[in-house]
Amino acid sequence: MRLALKIDVDTLMGFTEGVPPLLELLQERDIPASFFVAMGPDHSGRAVRRLFTHKGFLRKMLRTGAPRLYGFKTMLYGTLLPGPPIAASAPELLLKITAAGHELGLHGHDHVFWQDRLSGLSTTAVQAEILRAQKVLVGILGYPAISFAAPGWQCTPAAWDALVAEHFYYVSNTRGRYPYFPHTPQRSWPLVEIPTTLPTLDELLGLGGRRAADCNRDILAVLKRGGTHVFTLHAEVEGRVCFREFSDLLAQVQARGATFIRLVDYAKELWQQPDLIPRAEVISGTLPGRAGTVCCQSQGEEQP
């Protein structure tokens, strides 16, 4: 059993307050991980539009205790408060991530803009968002990222086109069961997609009265021996309010004999035998505990 930790950093609070303790924990347990950081402004407050566009958004915010998880200040960025830059506010943290041997990929430029406006963007507009994020990263590290994780698991044909055009080594944009080459009935893309395979803590938290410890049991129940799973966590959540519970989860996973792998190393394994990577259709779907829709791997195709 192997587990890849995909750590999404959506906000300034997650970056400056959540990443440092996560780095310490990973070092203590000798666990490699893949960090995906939103490089541009924190416009979290603009997500309030989802009250009118995403069914169940208000219910999710109340169920998970969003003000406690994200803080009131974060929930005002981009509206009553200006949106501060995320990566540029603490560039030394990006250097610490890579110096510790972890992978660092892009989680977009403006997280809220990508998640809420992507459906209306052309390929050129999506490329511009990607290049804005790359520019920030190159300015700090001196080289671009080779991996990308779509904010909110949102992707469109225009976005797939842009990601191919920007020559990413692999992406992690969807929810699914195993890696694949994505396609729709009209199009296909020669881009390895490594989906998130496990439910996330913020989806399970509060669902049916679940507490964080209960969520750990649900996540562990999905893990199967012999497979490689991808668990997405959020620096704002597991790096702060639910840090202790996440530490407990890692201890339980290690006690079961699991090993950990960076997503980029998983991709290298896959690219060694590209003919064995299956194709799978990307569809729009819903998930328990998550408001709105996300891009999912079709359930109608089985791994060869």
Read off the CATH number of the domain in which 209 is found: 3.20.20.370
Q: What share of the chain is helix, strand, coil (3-state, %, to 5)?
A: 50, 15, 35
**Environment class of 84 (CB within 10 Å of its CB; exposed 0-12, middle 13-18, buried 19+):** middle
Is position 71 within any domain? yes
- What is the mean pLDDT of the segment spanning 297-302? 75
Domain that holds residue 88: 2-297
**Environment class of 169 (CB within 10 Å of its CB; exposed 0-12, middle 13-18, buried 19+):** middle
| pLDDT of res. 51 | 46
Is position 270 within any domain? yes
Closest listed residue to residue 301, CA positions, set 193, 171, 178, 157: 178
Q: Using 50, 70 and 90 to split pLDDT, how confident is the model at 66?
A: low
Q: Using the predicted structure, report yes or no on whether residue 287 has a pLDDT greater than 60.
A: yes
Is position 304 within any domain? no
| pLDDT of res. 67 | 60
Are the CB atoms for 203 and 153 separated by under 8 Å? no
Is position 303 within any domain? no
| pLDDT of res. 303 | 54
Is position 85 within any domain? yes
pTM, rounded to two decimals: 0.92
Radius of gyration of the chain (CA): 18
Q: Using the predicted structure, report yes or no on whether residue 195 has a pLDDT greater than 60.
A: yes
Is position 302 within any domain? no
Closest listed residue to residue 169, CA positions, set 262, 302, 37, 281: 262
Counted residue by residue, the chain has a size of 304
Is position 51 within any domain? yes
Q: Which residues, other chains included, contact 15 with Cβ-Cβ below 8 Å and sequence gap of 6+?
A: 9, 37, 86, 87, 89, 90, 93, 235
- Our count of domains for the chain comes to 1
Is position 117 within any domain? yes
| pLDDT of res. 62 | 45
Q: Using the predicted structure, report yes or no on whether residue 77 has a pLDDT greater than 90.
A: no
Backbone angles phi, psi at 260, to 5 degrees: -115, 145
Q: Using the predicted structure, report yes or no on whether residue 46 has a pLDDT greater than 90.
A: no
Lowest mean pLDDT: which of 167-171, 204-208, 259-263? 204-208
